[in-house]
């Protein structure tokens, strides 16, 4: 029986000093069962240990940022070696060029790269660059994709838009994935006004009817920049990202998360015609693209370099797919055995799975999500999603499937007998909501 006594002691201290008790909303208390809120002390591979000594197999993997595994020795050693040489200087360090060359060699048909520290740095830079390049102001977002940046241009579209002027909100429009007519309609509604279309190449639905290539064609016909946000798909779908997987090259793309196996590093990459506006070897007005004090931090770039080299010499992506497929087979078998088809569903590519939880009416349910988290955590699985890493072994997956089978049995009983009989505490809540 797991205990969370030490974590409970830490909880009020976190909330007293940190708004919301967490630096990342997706890691907040409201995303986990009320009485099962572990504070993590350390991780190794795909396992983590909390303040009470509880051990979990983790499937969040740092919100998809850790693709190789926690404290992955080769990456940590590379970062340590670089750190001992210094991490930040008054002039560019040679490792910046080395990392740029390695990164551009991985992503097909790209010319220039600029590094940042997080995804928002580079997606916002891509948007600014697109506006400068086109001389237009409106940004088109994919409506089905939930997150692009912490900056105003995106957060203004969410229920947490407090503090953002209406003038910013008015410059954002939305289109729908796999709906090319929604794209054409935006160009009719806002002729010569849309600077760019930003989206993930793929999330939980595959592109249909050649959607990605058709979108690219329509963007080119209308003078808009096409941006792929590869924070999630990069270093999971393919060594060259989802764009390589789908054989398409956007004008700009952004990478992060798995690029440094958890170290803080991100990248904006694209063709020279657009990217060069961030420099000074051109005759146009200059763009303040990215100029971050810690943007080229040596140890983070060393971690990225070693991560990319591991991807090139080892079957990382193939293993992510294999472990995800093993997990999918096992959980889907349990869903069938517990007669839960339509109530619990795995969504997405095997290398990047999430799950849906539904109630008696087969409607999306936060209470049933909470119950499922509660029952899997009891069994040593920390799985707000089902994100596998290179460190998840076949044995880890087998153990997870066994725990899921037991949790799904409880889920079935809760459907039949009422969830109030099994759920302890309040349900989890959506991250993006207007009020408490």
Q: Which part of the chain has CATH 3.90.1150.10?
A: 5-70+315-421
What does each of the 436 residues of the chain score in pLDDT, given as a tens digit?
A: 799 999 999 999 999 999 999 998 889 999 999 999 999 999 999 999 999 999 999 998 999 999 999 999 999 999 999 999 999 999 999 999 999 999 999 999 999 999 999 999 999 999 999 999 999 999 999 999 989 999 999 999 999 899 999 999 999 999 999 999 999 999 999 999 999 999 999 998 999 999 999 999 999 999 999 999 999 999 999 999 999 999 999 999 999 999 999 999 999 999 999 999 998 888 898 888 888 989 899 999 999 999 999 999 999 999 999 999 999 999 999 999 999 999 999 999 999 999 999 999 999 999 999 999 999 999 999 999 999 999 999 999 999 999 999 999 999 999 999 999 999 999 999 888 888 8
For 341-346, which contacts have Cβ atoms below 8 Å and span 24 or more sequence positions? 343/368, 343/411, 343/415, 344/372, 344/408, 344/411, 346/386
Given this model, what pLDDT does residue 370 score? 97
Is the domain spanning 5-70+315-421 CATH 3.90.1150.10? The answer is: yes
Residue range(s) occupied by CATH 3.40.640.10 in the chain: 88-296
Give the pair of three-digit tokens for residue 73: 């020795």
pTM for the full predicted model: 0.95
Residue linked to tokens 């197999």: 57
Q: Which residues contact residue 299 at a Cβ distance below 8 angstroms, ignoring those fewer than 6 apart?
A: 79, 80, 82, 83, 87, 263
- What's the confidence (pLDDT) of residue 203? 94
Q: What are phi and psi of 6, to 5 degrees?
A: -70, -40
Which pLDDT belongs to residue 318? 98
Task: Supply the CATH classification number for the domain 88-296.
Answer: 3.40.640.10
pLDDT at 290: 87
With contact defined as beta carbons under 8 Å apart, do 236 and 203 qualify? no
CB atoms within 10 A of CB 152: 17
């Amino acid at each position: 029986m797991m205990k969370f006594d030490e974590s409970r002691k830490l909880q009020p201290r976190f909330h007293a000093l940190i708004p919301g008790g967490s630096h990342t909303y997706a890691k907040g208390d409201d995303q986990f069962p009320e009485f099962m809120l572990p504070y993590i002390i350390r991780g190794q591979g795909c396992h983590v240990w909390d303040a009470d000594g509880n051990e979990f197999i983790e499937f969040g993997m740092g919100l998809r940022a850790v693709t190789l595994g926690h404290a992955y020795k080769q990456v940590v050693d590379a970062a340590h070696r670089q750190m001992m040489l210094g991490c930040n200087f008054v002039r560019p360090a040679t490792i910046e060029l080395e990392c740029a060359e390695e990164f551009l060699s991985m992503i097909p048909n790209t010319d220039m790269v600029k590094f940042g520290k997080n995804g928002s740095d580079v997606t916002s830079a891509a948007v600014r660059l697109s506006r400068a390049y086109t001389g237009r102001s409106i940004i088109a977002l994919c409506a089905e994709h939930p997150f692009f940046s912490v900056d105003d241009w995106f957060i203004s579209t969410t229920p947490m838009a407090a503090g953002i002027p209406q003038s910013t909100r008015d410059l954002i429009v939305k289109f729908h994935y796999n709906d090319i007519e929604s794209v054409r309609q935006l160009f009719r509604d806002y002729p010569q006004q849309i600077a760019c279309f930003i989206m993930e190449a793929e999330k939980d639905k595959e592109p249909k009817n050649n959607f990605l290539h058709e979108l690219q064609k329509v963007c080119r016909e209308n003078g808009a920049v096409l941006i792929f946000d590869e924070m999630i798909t990069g270093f999971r779908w393919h060594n060259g990202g989802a764009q390589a997987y789908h054989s398409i090259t956007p004008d700009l793309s952004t990478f992060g998360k798995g690029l440094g196996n958890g170290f803080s590093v991100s990248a904006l990459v694209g063709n020279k015609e657009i990217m060069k506006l961030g420099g000074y070897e051109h005759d146009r007005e200059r763009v303040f693209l990215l100029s971050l004090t810690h943007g080229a931090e040596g140890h983070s770039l060393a971690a990225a370099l070693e991560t990319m080299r591991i991807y090139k010499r080892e079957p990382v992506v193939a293993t992510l797919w294999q472990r995800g497929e093993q997990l999918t087979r096992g959980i889907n078998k349990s869903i069938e055995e517990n007669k839960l088809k339509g109530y619990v569903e795995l969504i997405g590519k095997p290398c990047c799975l999430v799950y849906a939880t539904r109630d008696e009416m087969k409607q999306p349910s936060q209470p049933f999500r909470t119950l499922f988290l509660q029952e899997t955590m009891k069994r040593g699985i920390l799985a707000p999603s089902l994100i596998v890493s290179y460190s998840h072994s076949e044995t880890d997956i087998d153990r997870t499937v066994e725990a899921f089978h037991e949790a799904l049995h409880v889920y079935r009983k809760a459907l039949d007998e009422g969830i109030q009989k099994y759920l302890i505490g309040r349900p989890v809540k959506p991250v993006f909501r207007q009020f408490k």
